[in-house]
A and B are shown apart, each in its own frame.
Chain A
Amino acid sequence: MHEAPPAKITSPVVSLKDNYVRLIPVSLIVAAAGIGTALLLSMDMQRFSFAYLTCFCTLMSLCLGGLFFVIVMHLTRAGWSVTVRRIAEIIAMCTLPMFVLYLPILIPLMMGSDEVYIWNVEGWSIHGDAEHKAKVLAEADYPPPIEELKAMYLNRWFFGGRMVAYFLIWGAMAWFFLGNSLKQDRTGDKQITAKMQKHSTWMMIVFAATLVFSSFDFEMSLAPFWFSTMWPVYFFAGSMLSALATITLIAICLQRTGRVTDEITVEHYHDLGKLMFSFVVFWGYIAFSQFLLIWYANIPEETFWFAWRINPNSEGVMTGWQWFSLVLLFGHLLIPLLALMARTVRRSKNFLLYAAIYLLIMHWIDHYWIVMPQYSEMVSHPVGPAAGLAFHFNPLVDIPCAIGMAGVFVALFCLIARDRPLVPLKDPRLGEALAHHNP
């Protein structure tokens, strides 16, 4: 395709129009109800914080995936994705307000709480309950060396500072793309595309760096003993998969309600489906590699993390976490792998709608499986990985919390989208995207 075919927006409605005024309060009510229920039913701030952090990380990774999508599409000068890029731009823009959502975790942390991030209080490396810790600490006249070392990175001020920096950087990058893209809607200046392409290069590097460290901070530091160099890639694989699922989901919802009906065609869904398929494979590849290497070498320093999640308890009975691991293996890898393999499936909007919802649920389970065992470890003090870990899944807390966070996301999306066009109106490659055809 060398000549760009003429670009013409033919859909009657390309924005949320006034509906966002109605949508925002509705979704906020859902959010308040969901999160409120979770808070009430958990009856324990620590338990709630973990449920909340799970949902936050799910949502955060999703928004970061959106930002990556936008950057990489500019970096590769992609033509096909122009019509779905605006949705991704809006999702990416959600990264900045996400900081407010992190405050319920960050503020207690800055005030010295170790309810979520145990490294925040001295003595975390000592095994046992608070009494025992206090005793050991009192006997030794200096903190354990590993704590002293990690405190250089894991201390509340540096952590808080990093968080502010991450969100500012992500927000700035997302705004750069969304703002310029909106400006192009008005002016039609193709130099704007050239500018975004030019800046996407170094932004990719900045994005990679922030993603690496933020993934360590958000979730890996929940288990401060544990470390895995693969972690950022694992985080990224899930985040890109969930972003693609969200883009698909939003696009289908918009089209079902009569918006952007002509611009996003079955060809785009086909491509999104292919990308989802490939990221399912990629996620499986990364998850398996990380697991295999740690399982095979079986070094106590790192193997405990997986042992908690995949070992039966000391009586040989399967723990809940073991079931979760199996759900991830089948539900996050094998089932979508087989389901998304067929071309007809990837070209069916109905099927993709369910697939997107399903993948988002799986993504939440993935983060649940990462975050929640740390809570179980904190409250139950298992003797060792062989003892098995208590299971703290409580559908009455975790599911309302997830629904509430979904409501927050819809509200954020509407707040950013408002009545702005949901498809780039004057992108120079719009024609190419409209004429896009899969062989």
Chain B
Amino acid sequence: MTDKQNQEMEDQKLLGLLAQFEDPNTLIKACNEARESGYKKIDAFSPFPVHGIDPALGIPRTILPFFVLIIGLTGCAVGLGMQYYANAADWSSLFPGYNFMISGKPFFSLPANIPVTFEVVILSSAIATFLGMWALNRLPRLANPLHRISRFKRVTNDKFFLLIETKDPKFSREQTESELNQWGASAIEEVNEDLTDQQLPSWLQLVGLMTALILLIPPVLIFRAEGMTNRKPRLHVVPDMDWQDKYKTQTMAPNLGDEKHPVYLFVDGRAMQEPIPGTIARGDLDTDSEYYRGIKSGTDSFATLHSAGARTGLQDAAPQEPSDQDTPAAESSAEPAEPDWVTQFPPNVTVDQALLERGQQRFNIYCSVCHGYAGNGDGLVNVRAMALAASGQATWTAAKSLNEPEVIKNPVGRIFDTISNGRGTMGPYKSQIPVEDRWAIVAYVRALQGTGLKPEGVTKADEDTVEE
């Protein structure tokens, strides 16, 4: 007893005896012997996990898996809860977020939320494993008396060690040493705790404190900026995106003078200029009224054109050729007179197989969604909209069946005009469909009307109106 007390009085306190072994089998044997002779506070050290050392030392299975399981299940709940809160909760006023509908999925749709939940489970479990393992191992520990022993440096290379601690009730300096020798130790060292080395150097503490304070500065600045109002213009990180080299419509023309005496590039001060009256873009000259408008040449007039344009709200239907025939102004302001539609296809449209096929293709792309593939007015959009309208969820004017008698009676020019400029609630397709394709559609519509696929109650169409 007095011996031990004397040792404690000294600077260096004996912690245990460290024995070196040359190969893992001797180490396991020694561990077994040590345990059998009653030692409890023992630990072995090796460069790699030695197979069979756990039973030799009596190491119980670690609780790490249970810890990870609990964290993982928590992660699952947190992951799901986070997604619910972010995308579906509308009861909270704390960072509520706007619930937006995307790809027709419910706000909280379990299948779509599984992947993120899974990743959160894995992430939380992995971090729990990593941190839990070090925590259970009492690491990181930067000062360890064992590291002071130069022989022990080979524990990470090729030597095996067994430590018997002084705390062990059976420990006694001499007997333990002789036992260790007996079990095959190739060398034995004392492990001493260096009491002088317990504290961090004071300069290191200061440096640590300073670093921590310096690291605090950026977040403090950010929070300060968040909480203040600022009159300075905002930072432009990508000037190219913010200020682009172009003038948009409805903006001012560049000012060539100074601020007091502005001189604009254009007289009206607008950046975007209207085309000069009478200008015709290349390829847009459409003198052939029959072909371009479906109206017999000679009867074409400013008034009818204008009213046709105004009806559909089209501004670009302005006259592009001077009219050579006067129409009384009164007539145009009243109920617009039906122009003299062409009843035959214009001469430069040859109705043949190719045209009809082209017409069918274009019809199926542009018209069938409302009018149906057979032209009966049962297109998907129409059917759906009618169903919605019936339940009061939408207002909708039914798409016409092309097989109705009054539609069949229409001259080809009028059908052409309907496609070009729209009629009723149907929009104009002039800008999407080129002229020759519009005529192809007209031809196909005629063919459809001639097939006899009609809703019930409609008499057989007048075959005369069908070309070919």
Report A's interface with B, CB cutoff 8 A.
288, 291-292, 295-296, 298, 341, 343, 439
Contacts and interface: CB of A to CB of B under 8 A. Distances in A.
B112 A296 contact: yes
A130 B112 CA distance: 40
13 contacts: A288-B114, A291-B111, A292-B111, A292-B112, A292-B114, A295-B111, A296-B103, A296-B105, A296-B111, A296-B112, A341-B69, A343-B65, A439-B51
Given A291-B111, A296-B112, A341-B69, 9 more contacts: A288-B111, A288-B114, A292-B112, A292-B114, A296-B103, A296-B111, A298-B104, A343-B65, A439-B51
A24 to B, nearest CB: 46
B380 to A, nearest CB: 12
Interface of B is mostly: helix
Contacts of A298: 104
Select the residue from A291, A296, A439 with max chain B CB neighbours within 10 A.
A296
Contacts of B105: 296
A295 B105 CA distance: 10
Secondary structure dominating the interface of A: helix
A439 B51 CA distance: 8
Interface residues of B, number: 9
Contacts of B69: 341
Nearest to A341: B69
Nearest to A291: B111
A291 B111 CA distance: 9
Contacts of B103: 296
Interface of B: 51, 65, 69, 103-105, 111-112, 114
A343 B69 CA distance: 13
A328 to B, nearest CB: 14
Contacts of B112: 292, 296
A343 B62 CA distance: 13
Contacts of B114: 288, 292
Nearest to A285: B118
Contacts of A439: 51
Nearest to A295: B111
A341 B73 CA distance: 13
Nearest to B61: A343
Contacts of A291: 111
A343 B61 CA distance: 11
The 5 closest A-B CB pairs, nearest first, are: A292-B111, A295-B111, A296-B112, A288-B114, A291-B111
A296 B110 CA distance: 11
Contacts of A343: 65
A327 B268 CA distance: 75
A266 B112 CA distance: 40
Contacts of A296: 103, 105, 111-112
Nearest to A293: B111
A349 B105 CA distance: 45
A291 B114 CA distance: 12
Contacts of A292: 111-112, 114
A298 B65 CA distance: 40
A292 B65 CA distance: 31
Q: Which of B69, B105, B111, B114 counts the most chain A CB atoms within 10 A?
A: B111
Nearest to B49: A439
A295 B114 CA distance: 13
Contacts of A288: 111, 114
Contacts of A341: 69
Contacts of B111: 288, 291-292, 295-296
Nearest to B54: A439
Contacts of A295: 111
Contacts of B51: 439
A439 B52 CA distance: 9
Contacts of B65: 343
B122 to A, nearest CB: 12
B102 to A, nearest CB: 11
A341 B121 CA distance: 15
Nearest to A296: B112
A298 B106 CA distance: 13
A296 B111 CA distance: 9
A204 to B, nearest CB: 30
A25 B115 CA distance: 51
Nearest to B115: A292
A293 B111 CA distance: 10
A292 B114 CA distance: 10
A191 B111 CA distance: 51
A342 to B, nearest CB: 8
A310 B65 CA distance: 36
A296 B112 CA distance: 8
Nearest to B73: A338
A341 B70 CA distance: 13
B64 to A, nearest CB: 12
A296 B106 CA distance: 11
B55 to A, nearest CB: 12
Nearest to A292: B111
A288 B104 CA distance: 20
A223 B65 CA distance: 45
A292 B69 CA distance: 26
A341 B103 CA distance: 36
A439 B50 CA distance: 11
A188 B178 CA distance: 52
A316 B414 CA distance: 50
Nearest to B105: A296
A73 to B, nearest CB: 24
A343 B105 CA distance: 40
A51 to B, nearest CB: 31
